[in-house]
Amino acid sequence: MTQHVVCEVDELPVGKMKAFTVAGETLVVYHLDDGFFATQASCTHLFGPLAKGKIVDGCKVQCPLHRARFDIRTGEVIDWANFPPGIQLLNAVRAQKALKTYKTSVKGNQVRVKID
């Protein structure tokens, strides 16, 4: 496992998120009230870009395509895709799948992510 610097602490204010490519992997780093977290960049439903979604309830990311919601800290599915009406038919083929998460740390003013 290698730690990679993704940004400076002050580059990502609380409540914001940003996509980064690190060691060939695209991920999203989130700055929540209780620290920095990172997940894969694509929704597990139909691979929507999570960085274009939004942080809701302080700790969940909502996909911009079909409104699937995931816990940013654990990657767990909170709500599976539910928009537009009828998308649930596709859900029979696309089973719920959690997001991959990455360990983050702050050293000095640098936000770091561990990549396996």
Question: Mean per-residue pLDDT for 75-95?
Answer: 76
pLDDT digits (tens, 9 = 90+) for 51-73: 999 999 999 999 998 889 999 99
Whole-angstrom distance, CA of residue 43 vs CA of residue 11: 24
Residue at token pair 């702050």: 106
- Lowest-confidence segment of 15-19, 63-67, 98-102, 103-107 by average pLDDT: 63-67
Number of domains in the chain: 1
Q: Which domain holds residue 8?
A: 2-115
Residue with tokens 């009230």, as numbered in its chain: 33
Residue 104 has φ and ψ, to the nearest 5°, of -120, 160
pLDDT tens digits along 103-115: 999 999 999 999 9
